[in-house]
């Protein structure tokens, strides 16, 4: 079950739009997108694709900054525009002032804008690098940033923008780090110290907090993550695309948000109770990798 948050409503509406209003172009070569914000060291990503947003996957990348120039990342035309000032209470989408561009086989989206450039709706084509607006804090946003997404209307999937950028203007040299563990009990989420003996009286789901860092103290989600219990794969997730299927967003292997996350902890699954050895492997998009093994002593009653 997915809760009806504003973001969820937005992405459901987006999928609906696709089915009803778009004639789908034949797939062409993989798209290459330019960086959607003026190139400046201060405008680097603050959030990665696939991170937990507590009850849904983060479906794009965030680039912080107020008043940064937002630029056309790939030739295309304006598909639609939502004005925050005409959507009181952040209804319908929570994205504030939003632009969505159509590039033929893909769409790109820009949310939480402060302003939109004049006359872009009248132009039959917008060229790469053209300024279409400035970043801001409109809609449901905790601070000025651009939320940038890329959508494939043919597959009905949100794509990881960082896999499609011609210019990867983000730096990531540090591997993900494994942090604390927790278990979801019927009445609470409790922390666990995996280095010590602990008790699990039933197959409660166990989780680990994993965080990727860029070059310093950034707090990002990982790109690829897998867990083996006693040498057998228990769960695997790759945050490359998130598909809209049935009425929920899920990864290529069918896993939904609730299968992978509790808050921003990653699932080790409820099979941990029966396991002695846990191996956690996680990678960021640059290939920096974490591999960490744990030997558990669990009292099963």
**Interface residues toward Zn ion, by CB under 5 A:** 62, 147
Give me the least distance between CB of 248 and Zn ion, in Å please. Answer: 19
The smaller minimum CB distance to Zn ion, of residues 147 and 283, is found at: 147
Closest distance to Zn ion from the beta carbon of 285 (Å): 16
Contact 275, 269 (CB under 8 A): no
Is residue 268 within 8 A of residue 235, CB to CB? The reply is yes
Nearer to Zn ion, 74 or 145 (CB): 145
Angstrom distance (rounded) from CA 127 to CA 73: 8
Cβ closer to Zn ion: 7 or 103? 7
In contact, 144 and 64? CB cutoff 8 Å = yes
Q: What angle do CA 186, 192, 198 make, to 5 degrees?
A: 90
> For residues 183 and 206, is the Cβ–Cβ distance under 8 A?
yes
Closest separation between CB of residue 58 and Zn ion, Å?
6
| Residue (48 or 288) nearer to Zn ion, CB | 48
Distances (CA, A) of 183 to 189, 200, 202: 6, 9, 11
Minimum Å gap between C-beta 168 and Zn ion is 18
Nearest to 42 by CA among 112, 122, 135, 126: 135
Closest chain position to Zn ion (CB): 147
Q: Output 147 or 241, the one with its CB closest to Zn ion.
A: 147
The least distance separating Zn ion from the CB of residue 65, rounded to whole angstroms, comes to 13
Please report how close the Cβ of residue 62 comes to Zn ion at its closest, in angstroms: 4
Query: 99 vs 290, which CB is nearer to Zn ion?
Result: 99
Q: From the CB of 61, what's the least distance to Zn ion, in Å?
A: 7
Q: How far apart are CA 120 and CA 105, in angstroms?
A: 20
Phi, psi angles (nearest 5°) of residue 149: -130, 160
Q: Could you tell me which residues come within 8 angstroms of residue 3 by beta carbon, excluding any fewer than 6 positions away?
A: 55
Provide the minimum distance between the beta carbon of 231 and Zn ion in the complex, in angstroms, as a whole number. Answer: 37
Cα–Cα distances in Å, from 210 out to 51, 134, 157, 160? 11, 33, 25, 19
Beta bridge partners of 57: 52
**Closer to Zn ion by Cβ: residue 268 or 285:** 285
**Cα angle at 22 between 128 and 57, to 5 degrees?**
75
Comparing CB distances to Zn ion, the nearer of 147 and 156 is 147
Q: Are 264 and 54 in contact (CB under 8 A)?
A: yes
């Amino acid at each position: 079950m997915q809760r009806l948050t504003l973001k969820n409503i937005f992405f459901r509406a987006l999928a609906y739009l696709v089915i009803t209003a778009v004639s789908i172009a034949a797939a062409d070569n993989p798209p290459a997108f330019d960086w959607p914000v003026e190139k400046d060291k201060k405008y680097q990503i603050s959030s990665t694709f696939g991170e937990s947003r507590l009850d849904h996957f983060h479906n794009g990348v965030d680039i912080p900054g107020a008043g940064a120039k937002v630029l056309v990342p790939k030739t295309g035309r304006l598909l639609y525009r939502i004005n925050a000032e005409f959507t009181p209470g952040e209804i319908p989408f929570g994205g504030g002032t939003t632009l969505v561009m159509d590039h033929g086989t893909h769409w790109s989206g820009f949310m939480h804008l402060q302003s939109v450039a004049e006359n872009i709706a009248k132009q039959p084509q917008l060229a790469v690098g053209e300024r279409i607006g400035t970043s801001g804090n409109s809609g449901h946003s905790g601070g000025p940033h651009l939320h940038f997404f890329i959508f494939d209307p043919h597959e009905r999937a949100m794509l990881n923008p960082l896999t499609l950028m011609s210019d990867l203007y983000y730096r990531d040299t540090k591997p993900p780090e494994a942090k604390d563990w927790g278990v979801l009990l019927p009445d609470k989420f409790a922390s666990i110290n995996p280095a010590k003996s602990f008790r699990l009286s039933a197959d409660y789901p166990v989780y680990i907090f994993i965080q990727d860092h860029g070059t310093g103290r950034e707090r990002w989600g990982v790109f690829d993550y897998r867990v083996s219990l006693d040498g057998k794969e228990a769960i695997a997730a790759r945050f490359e695309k998130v598909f809209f299927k049935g009425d929920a967003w899920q990864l290529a292997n069918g896993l939904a948000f609730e299968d992978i996350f509790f808050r921003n902890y990653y699932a080790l699954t409820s099979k941990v109770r029966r396991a002695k050895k846990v191996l956690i492997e996680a990678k960021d998009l640059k290939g920096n990798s974490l591999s960490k093994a744990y030997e558990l002593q669990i009292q099963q009653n």
